Chain A
Amino acid sequence: MTTLLNKTNKKALIERLNIFTAFALGALAAIVVWRLSLAFLPADSESAPLFTREDKITLLSMIAWFVGFMTGIGALIGPFRWVQGKDLTHEENMFYAGKDLGVKRYFRYTTDHKVVGIQYLVITMVIFGIGGILAMLIRTNLGTPGGGWIHPQAYNSIVGTHGIIMIVGTIIMVTGPFGNYIMPIMIGARDMAFPRLNALSFWLIVAAAIPLIWAQFIGGISTGWSAYNPLASQAPLGMNGYIMFICIFAISTMVAGANITTTVVRMRARGMTWNRTPIFIYGVVASVALALPAFPVFFLSQVMSGMDRALGTSFYNTALGGSGWLYENLFWIMGHPEVYVILIPAVAALMEMAPVFTRRPLFSFNVAVMGIAGICGLSVLVWAHHMYISGWAPLLNAPFMLTTELISVPTGMLFLVLVGTLWRGRLWMTVPTLSIFALLWNFMIGGITGIYLSDVPADAFLHGSMFVTAHFHYTLMGAGLTGAIAALIYWFPKMTGKMLNKRLSWIAFWLTQIGFNVAFIGMFFVGLQGQPRRVEAYADIFSKGNLITTIGAFTIMVGMLILLHAVISSWRSGVKAPMNPWHAKTLEWTVANPVPLENFEVLPTVTSDAYGYGRSK
């Protein structure tokens, strides 16, 4: 154990805190506040809106959970030690970094970026697991027309929970595991700029999960993932779980954004100029930098939603001067940049892999950077294309149509870079290589259908239909998740020291991609026929398309289960990975397996870019 124990015979406070104390203190705080609120909160006056007292009690209890959990995990020790003037000692910092703690470090407020990366990887898989199960429930219910076996209210909640949980999962799926584990090594740093903030960003997500689970037992989230107001103001108490979940997650995103950006700007290795910085780093920074100003707007939208419910304010209550359009604006000001927060790092990961598996330089690095920058710039100017049909500012429809269609230009630049890199390359056919082709196919479909939806007259017909659902699954899952899985396979040897089972990963890839295309092309058809989204029952005319979609969804499930099996079995007893199995040239492949605590004994100096593979014949 560390020297902390040797100084005194009793354990220091930071040694006592872990996930168990966090859950215990969080639960205790929630129960105490719940009981006190029940006892002392006055009954509502007759003029108060519905639910107000119950909402107050629920939200107060959830806030107490949050404070208790973060105290119990040890997140507040740093700030309070700063105020006391007793900064953490070197030994304490090493303890926080997880030195000599073995597997226990994964259950503590550990600051080592590699531990945080693994924690993110596991929680992302858990999130996708839960979201996937909910997707299977939805598809099973929709397998036959006329309503299924799930109660409509429960079905609505399943749809809403599936939506928000998958959105969060896709937001963190690349920047969380690989942005934390790989990125600092890739730029030649010993850790993140703010290791304790790094741990904070992860544990905030764990803290946020409980209100979302809690919500399922108090009425669920029956509004869809967008939780439009005033619908959300009138929804059951479970809506408070959604509000808390988003608020805590938004804080996590902001903290991670500041941390990752600072790390890249200030801690790149000597000689790593911006021209020599790997394209994956650009993708990660673009993603978090985009999220940094976008998520506070979402946070505010939920604070006001909570105030409307618990305090009776009227931000969204039109009877008292509020506006539903206000919510829609705030939500989509975050909501559309968020699509690119998800997509950019996944595409950038594939751009990072393309030179490795084609053995040629990245085709036009500058175009790739300009494409990423162009997407970031335009993505904040397109939000109202989600609101064409809402009646808000019809005069603005044309400008928003133009900006939305313009975004296909920088997106096309990223396509160009990928195709240009593949062109006449000596392809090494691995699953990441296949994933590049899959991304090009899926993202092309997702992108082109997106152009239809950005068109005001076409959107008037397609809005709110299954066509929209298929479109965004093609972008977020077909492109985003494909890139993330490729990143997992590519960096798995560095993160675990083992090679991912090749045969199983090939089977998983093909099953997932075939299932995916079957599922969502079927969904396009029923959408074009006019089936609305978020419905629990549908007419017979849509039955064939829905059956195809359900068959496709189950095929995806089988593929994902095989991938999960491959990950777990390879991690436990896979073939030991060499230091650089792909013969890649970025810095993470120059460090040993397992990566030492501070990554580099001596910091590297970079003297050329990462894509010096020569030219293909």
Chain B
Amino acid sequence: MSLDTHANPHHEHPDVVGSRNRLGVILILVADIAFALSILFVYFYLKGQNVNDMWLPKATEDTPAITPLSSLSSWYVTAIAAFGLLAHQFGLRGVRAANQTQLKLGGLVALVAALVATVYQNMQIANAPFTFYSGAYASCYYLITILNMVHLILTVFIAFGNWNRSRLGIYAHDHWHVDIVNIWWIWMTVSSLLGAFALSFA
């Protein structure tokens, strides 16, 4: 391999670093997307198979019949997540327009939305009228809602960091981090939507 050399300062331009970071996050999300799609596969596979007619077990002497839950609460969680996404994008537009106040406000509202969605998701899990032992539907229900809960907890962590860094004025000259957090928000909302969609077909 023949080559020339050129002087290159070790310091890289923020756009170079930013676009690299964005690609890295997208690739990590590829793994998370594969994970989420596998969960949907599990849900529809077990529902389709209905092995031993135990997708939704019928009543026995000891246990009542398992009936599918309304997916409405999952859609509520998705709606709150979508609201958080919109708030974050409002902040993102702010930082692109060099409006720090809009960035902070958007980040704060997004953080609150993430917290509310997390609490609501937790209530949905805690109030489910069945146990882990209650057949394949119940197992899948917990799997989907727990995955969403994990996503939401991560979102709270990220949204808090994003808001705190906005508050400290770190994003005054560089909005790459806010852009990348936006990618996470989009995926988190889509994954919540996929979960709600699946649970609508019990």
Report A's interface with B, CB cutoff 8 A.
47-49, 79, 82-85, 87, 190, 193-194, 197, 254-255, 257-259, 261-262, 265-267, 269-271, 276, 292-297, 299-300, 303-304, 307, 311-315, 318-323, 326, 329-330, 333, 585-587, 590, 598, 602-610, 612
- Cross-chain contact B42 with A321 (CB below 8 angstroms): no
- Cross-chain contact A604 with B4 (CB below 8 angstroms): yes
Known: A83-B164, A261-B27, A321-B136. Is A605-B3 also a contact (CB below 8 A)? yes
Contacts of A292 in B (CB 8 A): 27, 30-31, 34
> B97 interface residue, CB < 8 Å from A?
no
- Cross-chain contact B34 with A315 (CB below 8 angstroms): no
- Cross-chain contact B54 with A314 (CB below 8 angstroms): yes
- Cross-chain contact A304 with B54 (CB below 8 angstroms): no
B9 to chain A, nearest CB (A): 10
Contacts of A197 in B (CB 8 A): 24
- Cross-chain contact B38 with A296 (CB below 8 angstroms): yes
- Cross-chain contact B28 with A266 (CB below 8 angstroms): no
Please name the 9 residue pairs, one residue from A and one from B, whose CB atoms are nearest each other, closest first.
A321-B136, A321-B54, A83-B161, A258-B27, A296-B35, A313-B139, A293-B34, A254-B31, A610-B1
B132 to chain A, nearest CB (A): 4
Contacts of A598 in B (CB 8 A): 10
Against A, the Cβ 8 Å flags (1 = close, 0 = not) of B133-164 are 10111111011000000000000010011001
A582 to chain B, nearest CB (A): 13
B126 to chain A, nearest CB (A): 14
- Cross-chain contact A608 with B2 (CB below 8 angstroms): yes
Q: In the complex, which residues 80-122 of chain B have their Cβ closer than 8 Å to any Cβ of chain A?
A: none
A79 to B27 Cα, complex, angstroms: 18
> What would be 21 A-B contacts, judged by CB atoms less than 8 Å apart?
A85-B164, A87-B170, A194-B21, A257-B31, A258-B30, A292-B27, A293-B34, A295-B31, A296-B32, A296-B34, A296-B35, A297-B35, A307-B139, A312-B131, A312-B132, A313-B142, A314-B133, A315-B42, A323-B49, A606-B3, A607-B4
A156 to B109 Cα, complex, angstroms: 56
- Cross-chain contact B50 with A607 (CB below 8 angstroms): no
B32, B132, B136: which contacts A307 (Cβ < 8 A)? B132
- Cross-chain contact B51 with A323 (CB below 8 angstroms): yes
Considering only CB atoms and an 8 Å cut-off, how many residues of chain B contact the other chain? 56
A596 to B16 Cα, complex, angstroms: 23
Interface centre among A259, A300, A303, A314 (most CB of B within 10 A): A314
Closest to B133 in A: A312
- Cross-chain contact A612 with B2 (CB below 8 angstroms): yes
A282 to chain B, nearest CB (A): 15
- Cross-chain contact B1 with A276 (CB below 8 angstroms): yes
Contacts of A604 in B (CB 8 A): 3-5
- Cross-chain contact B1 with A293 (CB below 8 angstroms): no
A312-B131, A607-B3 given; 11 more Cβ-contact pairs under 8 Å: A270-B6, A292-B31, A297-B35, A304-B139, A312-B132, A319-B54, A320-B133, A321-B139, A322-B46, A604-B5, A605-B5
A306 to chain B, nearest CB (A): 11
A84 to B27 Cα, complex, angstroms: 25
Against A, the Cβ 8 Å flags (1 = close, 0 = not) of B1-20 are 11111111010000010011
Report B's interface with A, CB cutoff 8 A.
1-8, 10, 16, 19-21, 23-24, 27-28, 30-35, 38-39, 42, 45-46, 49-55, 57, 62, 131-133, 135-140, 142-143, 157, 160-161, 164-165, 167-168, 170
Closest to A193 in B: B20
Closest to A270 in B: B6
Closest to A293 in B: B34
Contacts of A319 in B (CB 8 A): 52, 54
Closest to B26 in A: A258
- Cross-chain contact A255 with B28 (CB below 8 angstroms): yes
Contacts of A255 in B (CB 8 A): 28
B57 to chain A, nearest CB (A): 7
Contacts of B62 in A (CB 8 A): 47
Known: A83-B161, A602-B6, A607-B2. Is A321-B135 also a contact (CB below 8 A)? yes
- Cross-chain contact A321 with B137 (CB below 8 angstroms): yes
B180 to chain A, nearest CB (A): 11
Interface centre among A194, A259, A262 (most CB of B within 10 A): A262
Contacts of A271 in B (CB 8 A): 3-4
Contacts of A602 in B (CB 8 A): 5-8
Contacts of B30 in A (CB 8 A): 258, 292-293
- Cross-chain contact A193 with B161 (CB below 8 angstroms): no
- Cross-chain contact B34 with A262 (CB below 8 angstroms): no
- Cross-chain contact B57 with A321 (CB below 8 angstroms): yes
A326 to B39 Cα, complex, angstroms: 11
Contacts of B165 in A (CB 8 A): 82, 85
Known: A84-B164, A323-B49, A610-B1. Is A297-B34 also a contact (CB below 8 A)? yes
Contacts of B5 in A (CB 8 A): 602-605
Interface centre among A293, A333, A606 (most CB of B within 10 A): A293
Contacts of B139 in A (CB 8 A): 304, 307, 313-315, 320-322
A313 to B39 Cα, complex, angstroms: 14
A352 to chain B, nearest CB (A): 12
A333 to B140 Cα, complex, angstroms: 20
A84 to B157 Cα, complex, angstroms: 11
Closest to A295 in B: B31
- Cross-chain contact B23 with A266 (CB below 8 angstroms): yes
A317 to chain B, nearest CB (A): 9
Contacts of A321 in B (CB 8 A): 46, 50-55, 57, 135-137, 139
Contacts of A313 in B (CB 8 A): 132-133, 138-139, 142-143
